[in-house]
Structure 1
Amino acid sequence: MTDKATHPADTPLYPIREVSRITGVNSVTLRAWERRYGLIRPQRTPKGHRLYAREDIERVEQILQWLSRGVPVSQVKELLDQPEAPPLSEPASGDWPSQRRQLVAAVEALDMAQLERLFNQSLALYPVTTSLEELWQPTIRELEEHWDDQLGARLQRVNLETFLRTLIGTRLFHANQVVKGPVVLMCALPDDPGPLWLLLAALAGSDAGYRIQLLDGSVPFGELPLAVERLKASALMLVSGRAERPDLIRRQLPRLAEQLDVPLGLCGPVARIRGNDLVDTHVELLGDDLPLALARLRSLLHNA
């Protein structure tokens, strides 16, 4: 298929919100792919609304495949338009390592303009899941390793937390006005030095279609059942980038799970580090890959 829309009159056409639902690519990204790179060319109604054919949706799915292989979005069109595109099994070089280096440098230099550019670019040109998996999660892991013994680490962390709290918080506020999915209550565990993993988890949850209620602060475990009830949450997710105290993991978390009428999920690095301590409990281990954790949560809610 070429990038020019030439569909028969009887071809079913889909509005952008439906294409976003089918492919998981938000409408902002779909429009960016069209305007900046000419990757897709939907038809237009007389009032200018975009309409996509099934071939357009298939093209979006091909774009996602290339992006998942690390191909920069600026190079995807050339690959799509080849008569016989190279097989996806062949490795493709991408610009994610370069973007990660730029992001680390921006955090260390407290370069707010560069941080904002990289954040907006990653979420405008790529699906949230791809941005998290390829850019934000690996960068946070790398930074946290350096921060253990780096001068100025606390300043860098707080600055990045403040930045993400503002931008992700704004996205959550607007998304919660229109999203109709279940309410998920998220909060950090007490030993986590800051809300970086919590904020990324909230971003992944909102992108997955949940209404996210974020408790960006320490809440006693005894008050969490009340929070779940008052906020009408369908699940509670606890997040941490640290191992947390053995007593909290082995005794307090299972006890909290037994007090709840909704699933209690644990995600972030703590779920990988402490997984063996929570076998045969009611605590659901969602893992430290945040998009995958939210997919696992969907299965839990469906079963519940």
Structure 2
Amino acid sequence: MHIAWILGRVGSGSNSDEPTLPVASVARRLGVAPSTLRTWDRRYGVGPSRHTDGRHRRYGTSDIGRLELMQRALLRGASTAEAARYALEQMPKSVLTRTDQPMPSPGSALKIETPEGAVVLPAEDSDERDGPSRLARRLSTAALAMDVGAVQRMLAETIAELGVAAAWEGVIEPVLSALGARWRGASGGAGAEVEYLLAECVYAALVRATPVLAAPRNHRPVLLTCVPDERDTMPMYALAACLAARTLGAQLFGVPLPADVLAVAVRRSSPAAVVLWAQRKGIADPRLFARISRGGSRGRLFAAGPGWDRASLPGNVEHLDDVAAAADRVEYVLVGTGR
């Protein structure tokens, strides 16, 4: 469909001879749910210019062109309100059928509409136009649209702008958590594909952000892995990227090692520090550190993540709350800078 042809028809008034399509047909054409189109009409005024006598929505050529403009803006990372505003500015409706619906203010919380419901993210920081809240909105929109290219670009731009630690803590991890919580509460696991797609893109982005260091500042590596039975290994990829950005070399095991294999790996690599991550409570066994120590390891030992019981940790093991704190502390211990 040529946009110039569509624009030539905007503002010319309603044409009774113009063919129209029902909601279901337009939804199939755009690849969205009919409920999403109804929401865009009700909440943002981006809907059909007229209805049938029975009040059923019927979309004309200009209405569909407006929706296509909105969809393109969404795929480029705009919020739903921003995309709707853009579409209406580019192709004004001759008659707005929902003029009484307020547009969300820039500082309001983001509610991302999906066929199964909504995902809510924190309010955008109006004083920091390109801050973490806005970047999280754009990343969420791209992921929900299942646009791999847009997700990859957003991740690369976010890491380049904020750095790995701030990007992980302020944008990537909150978006992953929000989308994951949404589909786990849905019937039939609806929406899981969005989290899986985003997770794959995040893994790739973190690997790309972890360069091979020709001359790391630490003579012996930092061994990074998760405790056995931990499924969420992504924080270790984020930590490896954070350390690489500080010119600290790490030996990352993306797959959690069994206790006996971990002990052998520590003995053979003689790391300067060992960081064991536990995300879920109840799966981290403090006795892992005793097995490592029996192998003659002289490196510093760290238990990282919210899954550890601090009170049960041995005296020679230091607890680290999150990725950013772990990067700061490991850098300080190994080379005397950081926190």
TM-score interval, normalised by the smaller of the two chains:
0.5 to 0.7
Residue 164 of structure 1: how far off its partner (Å) = 2.8
Aligned partner of 1:222 among 260, 283, 289: 260
Answer whether contact 2:176 2:199 (CA < 8 A) is retained: no
Q: In the aligned structure 1, how far is the partner of 2:146 from the partner of 2:311? A: 38
Could you tell me which residue of structure 2 aligns to residue 177 of structure 1? 214
Could you tell me which residue of structure 2 aligns to residue 277 of structure 1? 312
Unaligned stretches of 5+ residues in structure 2: 1-125
Answer whether contact 2:278 2:305 (CA < 8 A) is retained: yes
Q: What does residue range 1-304 of structure 1 map to in structure 2 within 5 Å?
A: 92-94=127-129, 95-150=131-186, 151-152=189-190, 154-172=192-210, 174-181=211-218, 182-245=220-283, 248-250=284-286, 252-256=287-291, 258-259=293-294, 260-271=297-308, 274-278=309-313, 280-288=314-322, 290-301=323-334
Answer whether contact 1:164 1:199 (CA < 8 A) is retained: no
User: Percent identity of the aligned residues?
Assistant: 20
Residue 187 of structure 1: how far off its partner (Å) = 1.0
Q: In the aligned structure 2, how far is the partner of 1:162 from the partner of 1:156? A: 10
Q: In the aligned structure 2, how far is the partner of 1:230 from the partner of 1:199? A: 22
Residue 203 of structure 1: how far off its partner (Å) = 1.6
Give me the TM-score of the superposition, normalised by structure 1.
Answer: 0.58
Answer whether contact 1:253 1:283 (CA < 8 A) is retained: no
Residue 118 of structure 1: how far off its partner (Å) = 0.9
Could you tell me which residue of structure 1 aligns to residue 117 of structure 2? none
Q: How big is the alpha-carbon RMSD for the aligned residues of Structure 1 and Structure 2?
A: 2.8
Residues 171 and 179 (structure 1), Cα distance of their counterparts in 2 relative to 1, 3 Å cut? farther
Answer whether contact 1:198 1:240 (CA < 8 A) is retained: no
Answer whether contact 1:191 1:242 (CA < 8 A) is retained: no
Answer whether contact 1:237 1:266 (CA < 8 A) is retained: yes
Q: In the aligned structure 2, how far is the partner of 1:200 from the partner of 1:295? A: 13
Answer whether contact 1:184 1:236 (CA < 8 A) is retained: yes
Q: In the aligned structure 1, how far is the partner of 2:143 from the partner of 2:305? A: 21
Code of the residue aligned with 2:291 in structure 1: it is: L
Q: In the aligned structure 1, how far is the partner of 2:307 from the partner of 2:324? A: 16
Residue 106 of structure 1: how far off its partner (Å) = 3.0
Deviation digits for residues 171-224 of structure 1 (CA, Å, limit 9, x no counterpart): 43x333343434111112233223222221222222232112111113111222
Q: In the aligned structure 1, how far is the partner of 2:216 from the partner of 2:335? A: 18
Report which of the two has the higher share of helix: 1
Residue 249 of structure 1: how far off its partner (Å) = 2.8
2:303 is paired with a residue whose SS is strand
Residue 240 of structure 1: how far off its partner (Å) = 3.0
Residue 149 of structure 1: how far off its partner (Å) = 2.2
* Structure 1 runs (4+) greater than 4 angstroms displaced: none
Answer whether contact 2:156 2:205 (CA < 8 A) is retained: no
Residue 127 of structure 1: how far off its partner (Å) = 2.8
Unaligned stretches of 5+ residues in structure 1: 1-90
